Structures are given as C-alpha cells and as structure tokens.
Structure 1
Amino acid sequence: MPETQTVEKLDIQTAVLTHRKLFVLDTNILLHEPLAFLSFKEHDVVVPMTVLEELDYIKDSKKDVARDARVSIRAMEDLLHDASPEQMLEGVSMLGLGSGKSAPSGALSIFADLSMQEQQQVFTSNENDNRIINAALHLQAENPKRDVVLVTKDINMRLKAKGAGMGLVQDYRTDQLISDMKYLTKGFYTFDGNFWDKVKSVESVTEGRDTVHTIDKSLVPEPYINEFIVDENSGFAGLIEAIDDDTLEVLDLGVDRLMARKAWGIHPKNIGQAMALHTLLDPHIDLCILTGPAGSGKTLLAIAAALHMVIEHNMYDKIIVTRSTPEIAESIGFLPGTEEEKMAPWLAAITDSLEVLHKNDENTKGSMSYIMEKANIQFKSVNFMRGRSLQNAIVILDESQNLTASQLKTIITRCGEGTKLICAGNLSQIDSNYLNPLTSGLTYLVEKFKYFSGSATISLDGVVRSRLAEFAEKQL
C-alpha cells in the first residue's frame, strides 16, 4: 500500500474521531529512554527508518549508549514481530503494554525513508537529521487535520525543523520530575529569622550526647527523612529523623558541632560542607548525593570521608572510584596499561584531591602510593560496572550529571550489602548530547530518593577552591 494512502487511512480512521496527535521520534529520544515510545498515552508514535538505522549502528558500537539502543530495538521488535509490512506502516496498537492512566493506547508505526524526489528541498545535504525532519514534514503535509509533532532532544535540530517549516517541535519531557531547577531538592531547609521563635510547642528527649526535638510538621514545607534544618543566626542545625502525621522528630546537631567535624584532616569551610561531611560519615546512609558547582568541595570531601572510614575505622574493605566518561568507550581500548592506568586521565580529579590531602607530607607521592594500597583504592570504568556485585565497599561516582537514569540504575543495583555509594556532580556542566539539567540522571536520582531513609542529598553552594574560581563560577 502506498505510504500516502496509509497515512490518509490512519488519518480518517483515528485522528478525525479521537484527535490523536502524531509524534515523530528522533534517535536521541530512544537513546535517552529506550521505552520512550510507550510514553505518549492515546497518541500515535512514528519511528522513521533513519532512526532504526542509527540505532542499528549504535547498538554494535562501543558507545556508552549501545545498551540503550539494543533495549529499544528489542522492545519495538517485541511489539512489531507479528505485524505484516502493511501493518507496520499503518501502525500497530500499543494497547495492553502498560497499566494506569499513562498506559499507551495509540499505535506505533515505522515510516519508510522518502526518495530524493519526495523530500522537500529545504536542505543542502542528506544527513540523518535532515532525513528525519523531512519525514516529519511529509507527515505534516499529508495530515493537515492532525497535530504532527517532531520530538528531539537536539536543540539545533529543533531550530532546523522550525526553520524548515515544522509547526510543532518539542523536547521529550515525560521523564522530567521537576519543571525548573529551582525546585530541585537541596537537602536542607534554611529558616529566615530565629528558628526557636517560630516553634510554638516542642518535646525534647536527651540520650547521651543526642537530643531529639518533636516539633510541628507545618514548620517545614514538604519535609522528608534526612533533610537538614538550618538557622545559622541562632546556631541551630538539625536533621529530620522521623515524620508523623503532624510532627517531626529532629536530631539537634548544632552549627558549631557540625562545623567541628573533620575527616582525614579536612575541616568544613561552610555549613554546606559541614552537612555534607556529616552525611558522608553517617554509617546509616547508603547513598550520598552531592551536587554543586566546580570547586565546592564535592570530590575532596568524598575522598577524605572514604579514607577516614576505610583506614581509620575499618568500616569498609575498599574504595572504588569511577566516573562518567562519554568518550572513554571508544578510546580506552587503545590506551596502554591496566584498567587503572587507562582510567588515570579521567580520574585526575581524584588524584588531585589525594595530593591536597597529603601535600604537607615529606614525600607526597610516597604517601599517596601507600594510602592507595592501604585503602585498596581501585579506579574502574563505569562501562565495566555492569554485572558486578560490589560488597562492603565505598563507591565514589564522580561527574554523575552525565549519566541517564537507566545508567545510574545499573550502577546502583550493583551495590551489595555494606556498600556506600557517593554520587557527585555539577548539573551546570553536562557534556552529554542527550541530557540537560532537568533530564540528567543525577536530577532524577535526587528527586526519586529524597523519601528513602537510606539516602541523603546535599547541594553545596559556595566555591571554596579559590577566589578566582568563585568569580568565574558567578560571572562567566
């Protein structure tokens, strides 16, 4: 059946009756979320043939998104494997592939590539992005009664599509848990004015050095477990340990007490670092999430706390350090040496932090070598974490803002009994082509785990690296 007749048939049978939209997906959508085609509810989804070609190329590559490409291809094959060529062009119903209000009920179809004569001559080259835009333009022209929407995470492609005449172009936002970064959980709530002036009733219980206050729940908007309450004016700092229907149980820590903590010779320079250090050293916290700008101390605090717990207190057996390396998948095999030696260029931030911690030693390099052996510090590529089971270790995942939610899930599910995971990242420095601050896996992690009693998040504000770095962070 000719493609035009197929589209017209789909238009008559469904769009006129139900006003369903037609979403055309770019490749990066399926790489970002392999099952994204199931997220459009009652609307229909079209995957251009060019997208399948790109997925086919990526699935066999060494890119870190190869697995996502394979997952997406398998999921579409499971739906379409019994469909005839005509049915694949017309659309195969996705009804029954999910449950609840967000379950898909539209159709998934494959759009065959247009010939050069059929394509709208708005581009000077026949590259993949242009072919996908041409497919969307063709569907838009053949379906004047429908809303045809091109969905892509590529900002430049959105601009090109609009310039070429595409009426509806949008980013993929189904996976976004927040609408603006200002709503991202910080891990603490700061009071304006004196905290105790706002407390109308309180019950306090003291056991040893610890004092727990039971206060009214309405004092803190949207409280959650392991959220800090801070009032530097009065010197009060507390940690929410339990939440009831009307009350909060808050462990009284005190600003001075928090600022007095140290790990491996490192003292916090501000209240944000103090809260982060308290969280890192808490054995009841299995997942520590540190966000903040470059120079705020995320990596240094993580390394110092890890050395403190492994060497001084023997709480863990080893330290595993890894990070997101977008380019490492294709280049690591060509670098000489062991995996640790191959990872060295990407983990220089870790060795820099070790140098800072031992800069006053007589032999800095000797001290670093001794500590790395004593603490059993291992440098691992995030690409090789899949399939492992990490027991009784501290795992430091640096630059985690460049990972998707599914990639972070892969790493977190590797953590076995007695393992503590520290995720650090700067959401203003994302290198991935498929992510932005709202869709980063780090953002997803912060929001999804904020109600989990075994995790804690701290957003570090100040840049303490140098006054030059602080000025650059604010002004550039």
Structure 2
Amino acid sequence: MGDSDRKVFVLDTNILLHEPLAIYSFQEHDVVIPMTVLEELDRIKDSKRDVARDARVAIRALEDIFHDATPEQISAGIPFSKQTAHNGTIAIFADYEITETVHAFTDKAGDNRILNAVLHLQQHYAPRDVVLITKDINMRLRAKGAGVYFVDDYRSDQLIDDVSLLTKGFVEYPGRFWDQVGECQSESRGRATLHTLPMTLFDKPFVNQYLIDEEHEFAARIKQIDDENVILKDIGHDRLMHRQAWGIHPKNVYQGMALDAMLDPDIDLVILTGPAGCGKTILAMASALEQVIEKGMYDKIIVTRNTPEIAESIGFLPGTEEEKMMPWLAAVTDTMEALHKNDVCTDGSMKYIFDKANIQFKSINFMRGRSIQNAFVLLDECQNLTASQIKTIITRCGEGTKLVCSGNLAQIDSNYLSPVTSGLTYIVERFKNFEGSANIYLNGVVRSRLAEFAEENL
C-alpha cells in the first residue's frame, strides 16, 4: 500500500475504552492519537468505573510502542512494530496547539479539541483521507456538521451488520422435508437414527442446527458435517414435542428444540434468544432442576446476571451477596413460584427445592478468578453484557459444567451496547460452528395474550 493509499485514522477516547487494543486494527494505515485522548484516559484510569481497567490497558499498549521514541519521532509517527509486515505508523498529536475553529458545548471542551485536531489534520494531509473513528453518535453528527469529511464507527468487533442476519439456530423448510430429498442413506446407532444427505441440500449448515418442516412431521439436528455430506440425527416432531423437564412440556416446536438442547449432556453451551415471554427463563430453570435433582447430573445451580438499572437508582441494598442479588433475580424466583404454584405449600416447596438443588445467586462482578465445576449455570439477561464480560464467565466453566445464556436483544439497557455489538450477538456467531453448543431463537410469546399483543404492537 502506497503512502497516498494509506488513510489517517484519528481515534476518539471511547474507541480505546471499548477496545483497548483497537490501535492494532489499523496497522496498514496511519493512526493519530490526540493529546486530549491521553488526558481523558489518565482521568479515567484511576476512577472506580468499569472502564478504568480498559483505560490502563490502552495506556500500556501505547507505552509499549513509544517507550524508546524521541518526541520528534512520536510527533512524526513511528511503525507499530518491527516484526509486522504492515507499514502503517502511529503518532501522538498535540491538539492543544491548534487554534479553535469549533465553538460549541463549553462542557465538551475535550470533544471540541479533538474536532479541531481532525479539521487541522484533514487540511494538512490533503488529499489523503482523514477519518475520525468514534462510537459517540452525537460526536459523529457534530463532526459532520463541523466539516469533517470522513467519520465512522469502530466495526471490527461487529460480526454482523444487521441483527436480522443473526442465525436463529434452526431452519424451517416449506411443505414436507422428505419431498425435497432424493437419495438418503439411513442407519441406526444405538437408539439414534442417522441420515446422510448431500451438502447441496443445505445453505450454510452448522453443527447442532435444528431442521424442521412446515407440516410438523420432521425434526432433526445436524450431527456432523464434512466436505460433501451432512449427517442428521432424526429426532421426530412428536418426540420433540413430548420432551419434558420438571413437569414443563413445550408449547411450541421452538421450546421443544430448546428443551432438547438443554437436556442433551453432549451440549455444554445453550444460547436462548427471543422476545419477552417466549419461555427462556422457565425452560432453563425447569431443565436445571430436572438434571440436578431428578437425574443428579450436576451438583448445584448457579444463577447470575448483569445488574443495570432501568430507571433511577434505589440506593445501596442491605444483606449478603445473595440478598443483594435478589431484586435482580426476581425473574428466577417468579419462575420457581410458577413451577410450584400447584403444590399444597408453595413457599415450603420453594425452600426445599432451593436447598435440595443448592441454588446460588451470584453477581458477575465476582466471577473473575473462579473455576465452576459440575454445575448448571444460568446466565440471564446477557444482552446487557459485552463480549469480554461473557468471555470471562464462559472461561470460568470447568469440567462437567453446562452453561445456558439467555437474553432478548430488543431489551438492551446498557448505554454502550447495541444489538449488533452485544455480547449475546457475539457468542451466537462465534459458537455456531462449535460442536458443543446450540443456539435456539424462541419464536412466539407464550406468557399471555396481553404480552403477545404488546410484543407485536408496542
């Protein structure tokens, strides 16, 4: 890439907080870090906010690059690394020396200095493209209004461009499935019936993807894929609909697929997505109780979730860690009540089950460093988690542990996440080719006709 083809990327502070090593995503080009960004990172690194660690990682990454450089070299730009084949550079720009051209929002002096720096660099490097990279939507709008030609979001962590492209974990064929199949080789392995079909019948298949048809006659799961063939495990629609866990039967074929995946000991990670009221939590809890109490497959149930506040804060909560988590995990206790509402004494049943199943409510803030063995872990509302937070939790799972992640991408409470950047979207795409995971989109609201109408019309 010649000098004229290389672009100049100016990174905003929020980019380095979102991805501390984002500078290495632009190694083919020239990267400029305004001095204002370093000042903002310095203020944040000592704060008590979650992003303080990310600020420190970003600062250390810059120190590793600049530690032997002279001030003149830092201003001119130095190569990212001598080992890399890319010829891009990274520089620190003293933006406080620029005469102000953008006057707005006196409480946003840092943003103004960054915009002034971009306008100066745009003129200095012309005709090369100077691109401001920021995750702040309003900053992108202000930059356009101030005269910056190229403004963009940081997209290297986005695996898909539109959440509608996210895989649902199943394919529904029109009509009867077998009418669309020519030759088929079938065999029995133990209690399972396997079908070998040519790859040409499928569009981008992956392991543990479910296949159903419109006539409700066929249901199968992809067991194995090679260059020419796809091997299916025949489940059968009726058998899928008669799966049960802790007295819960599926109300539709999507819940049947979810139960089948959660009750399969060969699947370590199950990802449940779908609208509010589709049954994600109750199916996960019923499967957990069935496998912990009835089958003795796991020693305990660990329930955890992020704790964002939808409205105003209600202040500090008293009690132990589990008592503090109770308001956040009320959805789980509501589910337990629904599972035992027909018992003679619901409260007595719930207390017995909580002790018998060794149900523990944990905060994700204290997950780092743990190793969870032989447990059924339910990570609820994980649409509010970043990819790194979900990675932290998944890497805690040791031998004999099953993890169920559930969430609704339409109910993101975090100010820093969107459906395409949510950690839930990230793991759905990353794990779809992993033989130990399954993903099911629970289509249809079964909570009540009121909830169904609200989901469709509000």
TM-score, length-scaled by structure 2: 0.93
Please tell me whether the aligned partners of residues 291 and 426 of structure 1 are also in contact (alpha carbons under 8 angstroms). yes
Matches within 5 A, 1:125-274: 125-127=106-108, 128-274=110-256
Please tell me whether the aligned partners of residues 64 and 326 of structure 1 are also in contact (alpha carbons under 8 angstroms). no
- What are the superposed Cα offsets for residues 261-282 of structure 1, whole Å, 9 maximum, x if unpaired? 1111211111111101110111
- What are the superposed Cα offsets for residues 282-337 of structure 1, whole Å, 9 maximum, x if unpaired? 11111111111111111111111111111111111111111122469xx8994321
- Counterpart of 1:346 in 2: which secondary structure? coil
Matches within 5 A, 1:81-160: 81-96=67-82, 105-114=87-96, 118-127=99-108, 128-160=110-142
Following TM superposition, by how much is the alpha carbon of 1:139 offset from its aligned partner in structure 2, in angstroms?
A: 2.2
Change (3 A) 1:326 1:47: farther
- Counterpart of 1:335 in 2: which secondary structure? coil
Matches within 5 A, 1:7-26: 17-26=3-12
- What are the superposed Cα offsets for residues 204-261 of structure 1, whole Å, 9 maximum, x if unpaired? 1124542111112211111111011111405100011111222111111111111111
- Counterpart of 2:272 in 1: which secondary structure? strand
Which shifted more, 142-151 or 266-275? 142-151
What one-letter code is carried by the residue in structure 1 that aligns with 2:372?
L
Please tell me whether the aligned partners of residues 4 and 128 of structure 2 are also in contact (alpha carbons under 8 angstroms). no
Following TM superposition, by how much is the alpha carbon of 1:368 offset from its aligned partner in structure 2, in angstroms?
A: 2.0
Which shifted more, 152-161 or 129-138? 129-138
Work out the CA distance in 1 between the residues paired with 2:81 and 2:261: 45
Please tell me whether the aligned partners of residues 319 and 378 of structure 1 are also in contact (alpha carbons under 8 angstroms). yes
Please tell me whether the aligned partners of residues 171 and 212 of structure 2 are also in contact (alpha carbons under 8 angstroms). yes
Please tell me whether the aligned partners of residues 95 and 105 of structure 1 are also in contact (alpha carbons under 8 angstroms). no
Change (3 A) 1:59 1:296: farther
What one-letter code is carried by the residue in structure 1 that aligns with 2:362?
K
Work out the CA distance in 2 between the residues paired with 1:325 and 1:70: 24
Please tell me whether the aligned partners of residues 32 and 404 of structure 1 are also in contact (alpha carbons under 8 angstroms). no
Q: Percent identity?
A: 65
- Counterpart of 2:378 in 1: which secondary structure? strand
- What are the superposed Cα offsets for residues 115-163 of structure 1, whole Å, 9 maximum, x if unpaired? 6x72223313142333333332332233332211111122222112212
Matched, 1:311 2:293: yes
Following TM superposition, by how much is the alpha carbon of 1:458 offset from its aligned partner in structure 2, in angstroms?
A: 0.7
Please tell me whether the aligned partners of residues 227 and 239 of structure 1 are also in contact (alpha carbons under 8 angstroms). yes
- Counterpart of 2:132 in 1: which secondary structure? strand
Following TM superposition, by how much is the alpha carbon of 1:442 offset from its aligned partner in structure 2, in angstroms?
A: 1.5
Please tell me whether the aligned partners of residues 202 and 213 of structure 1 are also in contact (alpha carbons under 8 angstroms). yes
- What are the superposed Cα offsets for residues 394-431 of structure 1, whole Å, 9 maximum, x if unpaired? 11111212222222221111111111111111122222
What one-letter code is carried by the residue in structure 2 that aligns with 1:379?
F
Cross-structure match for 1:79: 65
Work out the CA distance in 2 between the residues paired with 1:299 and 1:348: 11
Cross-structure match for 2:324: 342
Work out the CA distance in 1 between the residues paired with 2:398 and 2:67: 37
Work out the CA distance in 1 between the residues paired with 2:147 and 2:133: 15
Cross-structure match for 1:474: 456
Change (3 A) 1:82 1:137: same
What one-letter code is carried by the residue in structure 2 that aligns with 1:66?
A
Work out the CA distance in 1 between the residues paired with 2:207 and 2:201: 15
Change (3 A) 1:340 1:417: same
Following TM superposition, by how much is the alpha carbon of 1:347 offset from its aligned partner in structure 2, in angstroms?
A: 1.6
Work out the CA distance in 1 between the residues paired with 2:116 and 2:83: 30
Which shifted more, 119-128 or 232-241? 119-128
Work out the CA distance in 2 between the residues paired with 1:418 and 1:359: 31
Unaligned runs of 5+ in 1: 1-13
Please tell me whether the aligned partners of residues 176 and 217 of structure 2 are also in contact (alpha carbons under 8 angstroms). no
Work out the CA distance in 1 between the residues paired with 2:442 and 2:216: 21
Following TM superposition, by how much is the alpha carbon of 1:51 offset from its aligned partner in structure 2, in angstroms?
A: 2.4
- Counterpart of 2:327 in 1: which secondary structure? helix
Work out the CA distance in 2 between the residues paired with 1:104 and 1:374: 59
Cross-structure match for 2:43: 57
What one-letter code is carried by the residue in structure 2 that aligns with 1:149?
V
Work out the CA distance in 1 between the residues paired with 2:44 and 2:256: 44
Following TM superposition, by how much is the alpha carbon of 1:472 offset from its aligned partner in structure 2, in angstroms?
A: 2.0
What one-letter code is carried by the residue in structure 2 that aligns with 1:221?
D
Work out the CA distance in 1 between the residues paired with 2:260 and 2:45: 42
What one-letter code is carried by the residue in structure 1 that aligns with 2:70?
S
Change (3 A) 1:376 1:134: farther
Please tell me whether the aligned partners of residues 378 and 403 of structure 2 are also in contact (alpha carbons under 8 angstroms). yes
Cross-structure match for 2:17: 31
Which shifted more, 42-51 or 410-419? 42-51
CA RMSD of aligned residues (A): 2.2
Please tell me whether the aligned partners of residues 35 and 96 of structure 2 are also in contact (alpha carbons under 8 angstroms). no
Return the match for 1:298 from 267, 280, 283: 280
- Counterpart of 1:283 in 2: which secondary structure? coil
Work out the CA distance in 2 between the residues paired with 1:342 and 1:234: 45
Work out the CA distance in 2 between the residues paired with 1:240 and 1:96: 46
- What are the superposed Cα offsets for residues 93-118 of structure 1, whole Å, 9 maximum, x if unpaired? 114465xxxx7541122223426x72
Work out the CA distance in 2 between the residues paired with 1:308 and 1:105: 58
Unaligned runs of 5+ in 2: none
Corresponding pairs, count: 455
Following TM superposition, by how much is the alpha carbon of 1:71 offset from its aligned partner in structure 2, in angstroms?
A: 2.1
